[in-house]
Amino acid sequence: MSGQQRSLFDADPEPWEADDQAEQLVAGIVLATGPGQEFDYLVPDALRDLVEPGRRVLVPLGKGNRQVQGYCVRVESRRAGPRPLKSLADVVDRRSLLSPAMLRLTHWIADYYLCPWGQVLETVLPAGVRGQAGTRMATLLTLDPRGAKLLTAGDLPDKHREILLVLAAAPEPLTPQELARHARCSPSPIATLRRKGLIRSQTARVSAVRQAEVALPREEHLVLNPDQQQALDAVLAALRSQQHRTFLIHGVTGSGKTEVYIQAIKEVVRYGRQAIVLVPEISLTPQTVERFRRRFGAVAVLHSHMSDSDRHWHWQQIAEGRVSVVVGARSAVFAPTPHLGLIILDEEHESTFKQETAPRYHAREVAVARAAAENVPLLLGSATPSLESWNRASLGQYQLIEMPRRVLNRPLPEVGTIDLRTDGQRGNRGSISRLLYQAMQAALQDDGQIILLLNRRGYSTHIQCPACGEVVRCPDCDIALTHHKTGDLALCHLCDYRTSPPTSCPACHSGEIRYWGMGTQKLEAEVRARFPNAPLLRMDADTMRTRGAHEKTLCEFREGKARILLGTQMIAKGHDFPNVTLVGVIQADTALHLPDFRAAERTFHLVTQVAGRTGRGNRGGRVLVQTFSPDHPAIRAAVKHDYAAFAAEELPLRELLHYPPFAAMIRLVVRGESEAAAKEFAQRLGQNVSTALEARQANARVLGPAPAPTPRIRGKYRFQIQIQGPDGDKLRAAVHEAQSQSQAPAEVEWIIDVDPINML
């Protein structure tokens, strides 16, 4: 576990007498790959001026003294010990990449999420920054004092004067090419001034991307309504008192939460500080960035779909304090802001804020920890808050701010359900019911736009033989293959296995193979066939693979180039389309009955959020929800836009079953190619966890080991252990102890997921 310390000694050291009074400079190093412990290394005299916490270093490791990379997290002077320490080999960075505050935050993440500290440090620093990708060596020019003196004296040719004036006015050093462009001259007079010593030059590593953003027309801040003003006043009170406070802004869709964010940031910028704005989907980033740029000018962007060069350039701009607003997805919570003043999580309920690979952190929890440590306010905004945040607000841990009305008092859209169980719908072989079809016709005739949500990719969700019932499955995963019309593939959505669709049953060889179920590709084909004159766009993981695809698709729909937008959950979140007058939810039950205690909550979030995409303009809007479960509490509450009713129904069930937010949870997943080996280790691990919990009197419940809901993925059998208890610290301590006692065989892997979101 991170935080433990031990020394790395030379193999077979020579006898050595220590001078008890001798002082030596020692650096605490966390290896980039390894168990996460701190190792002590001696800082040689040649590196004393370069070693600093937050820089990467090279250190010798093991008997062979092979050089590995690590992070300096501590430097201290202390008396020499009884045995000599190995010395640092080199310092990689010439400036610190991680501030002391960020080092403390990463240490907290490592402890809380039970992962190696070095792994967290590697996650916090983008690959482009760590590898200096997107950088180049360049000559940078600045004005020499002699040049400045001659400018004052006036004894200069006009062209030379113009060059020196440009250089004097530049906010940062310029390359020769940039200086020539700004001064509108050839390289020759610049070279002459350099030879005369009037211009200084130095070589340095700079970003290969010098981005000049296209200036957007600046917009003035809007006049707030009473709900917005009340929310802003509460946030400004915390900002002006320089107090950390976490606010949960529960505002219905279209209530103007973003304008509250913007005007709070305006205050932060006025203080000369920076704000971080997190959004759950990359598809939301372009829209959010444009809106903030129209108010604040330069905005930095951080998300995983950027090139290393772009990400490195933005990271550098943030670290140097050149931008006041940072917008990004989950990883932007680690933005290197030297003057942080505010953190905002929009759509805080979204599961995409949880990282599903190690380190398995949740951006909301990291934001809470960072905001508290740096004593700045945190804003969590959502029309459908997570039950964890809602419960914390009810306990007074968060300050709840209600925004129950839309801007301009526009009504929330009318939501109706279409019961797919009724006889009237059974005769309809397509995915669009008669009522929804008629509503789509009316919306198109009225020159409105339509959004259709179906949270399933592909063409057909499974391929099955009607003669024997055989379902075509992935050979490496225990799930059915999905038929994709594009490329005519049978595709596994877990491991990307792909094959040609069978023409006969692989089991009984019957030629009566059938394609069942509905995905977004089939929905697109049906809509095009039934509305051939309505331009259509599809937005799902298959169509959004290329860079800039999200922005292009959303921009075309916003500009009215398409009348119908259909897709998966990525179209349901945060988008503002004033001309959308109809939203259709094709199948509201796709996730409702999954073996996941959050299934009802996710369904409520999705239906409520997509319903909020309509009725945002003067024309009003309507929502039709097709479902086989119209009486389910989550569907009933979503139809009424009634979050409080949903929470009142769901929270007592969670409390009864000891699920979050009333208990902490850790999920352990063991996987291996041998089912027997994975099962045997899972049983041993589960016993070690139970013993450690009993020793701590943790009053916890251990479920499993048992096969995971998806028992096999990528050829590996999976067993899970679910641990629930009222004291999260005791749960983590017990799992950490079991981790140290449970050595998995080489062919078995296992993961620790603290506060899991994905239970499948």
Confirm whether 402 is domain-assigned.
yes
Q: Report pLDDT digits (tens) over 628-687.
A: 999 999 999 999 999 999 999 999 999 999 999 999 999 999 999 999 999 999 999 999
The top-scoring range by mean pLDDT among 143-157, 341-355, 462-476 is 341-355
Higher per-residue confidence, 49 vs 220: 49
**Considering 408, 443, 465, which residue would you say is the last residue of a domain?**
408
pLDDT, residue 134, reads 52
Tell me: do 554 and 681 sit in the same domain. Answer: no
Tell me, yes or no, whether 322 and 393 share the same domain: yes
Q: In this predicted model, what pLDDT tens digit does every residue of 114-145 receive, in sequence order?
A: 999 999 999 999 877 877 655 566 788 999 88
Least confident piece of the model among 75-89, 169-183, 271-285: 169-183
One domain, residues 524 and 546: yes
> For residues 274 and 340, is the Cβ–Cβ distance under 8 A?
yes
User: Which pLDDT score is estimated for 430?
Assistant: 81
Query: What confidence category does residue 94 fall into, taking pLDDT thresholds of 50, 70 and 90?
Result: confident
The residue assigned the tokens 């701010």 is 401
Which three-class secondary structure state does DSSP give residue 140? strand
- In the predicted structure, residue 213 carries a pLDDT above the cut 50: no
With respect to residue 71, please indicate whether it lies within any of the assigned structural domains. yes
Digit-coded pLDDT (tens) for 733-758 = 999 999 989 999 999 999 999 999 99
Amino acid at the residue 755: D
Tell whether 398 and 343 lie within a shared domain. yes
Q: Alpha-carbon Rg of the chain, whole angstroms?
A: 30
Q: What is the mean pLDDT of residues 271-279?
A: 94
Same domain, yes or no: 55 and 110: yes
Q: Indicate if 624 and 529 belong to the same structural domain.
A: yes
114 with 143, same domain: the answer is no
Give CA separation, 92 vs 57, 100, 120, in Å.
5, 18, 19
Based on the fold, state whether residues 171 and 261 are members of the same structural domain. no
| Sequence-distant (≥ 6) Cβ neighbours of residue 753 within 8 angstroms | 360, 666, 667, 668, 669
Residue 486 lies in a domain: no
In-domain check, residue 240:
yes
- Residue 47 inside a domain? The answer is yes
- For range 544-561, the mean pLDDT: 84
Verify that 63 and 85 share a domain, yes or no: yes
Query: What pLDDT is stored for residue 673 in this prediction?
Result: 95
User: What pLDDT, on the 0 to 100 scale, is given for residue 216?
Assistant: 54
Last residue of a domain, one of 631, 654, 677: 654
Residue 215 falls inside a structural domain: no
Where does 15-114 have alpha helices with state H?
Answer: 100-112
Confidence class for position 208, pLDDT limits 50, 70, 90: low
In a domain, 472, yes or no: no
The pLDDT tens digits for 455-477 are 998 999 889 998 888 899 999 99
The pLDDT mean for the chain works out to 88
70 & 171 share domain? no
Based on the domain organization, do 401 and 415 belong to the same domain? no
Q: Is the dihedral of CA 714, 720, 722, 728 positive or negative?
A: negative
pLDDT band at 207 (very low <50, low <70, confident <90, very high): low
495 in any annotated domain: no
Domain of 528: which CATH number? 3.40.50.300
Contact 223, 260 (CB under 8 A): no
Q: Are 742 and 684 in contact (CB under 8 A)?
A: yes
Split at pLDDT 50, 70, 90, the class of 376 is very high
Residue 281 has a pLDDT of: 79
Last residue of a domain, one of 386, 408, 430: 408
| Selected residue with higher pLDDT from 52 and 22 | 52
Task: Give me the long-range contacts of 22-26 (CB less than 8 A, separation at least 24).
Answer: 22/79, 22/80, 23/77, 23/78, 23/79, 23/80, 24/77, 24/78, 24/79, 24/80, 24/85, 25/51, 25/75, 25/76, 25/77, 26/75, 26/76, 26/77, 26/78, 26/85
Residues 442 and 551 in one domain: yes
In terms of residue numbers, what domain contains 715? 664-754
* Helix runs in 279-342, H state only: 285-296, 308-319
Q: Which of 523, 513, 467 is nearest to 490 (CA)?
A: 513
Number of domains in the chain: 5
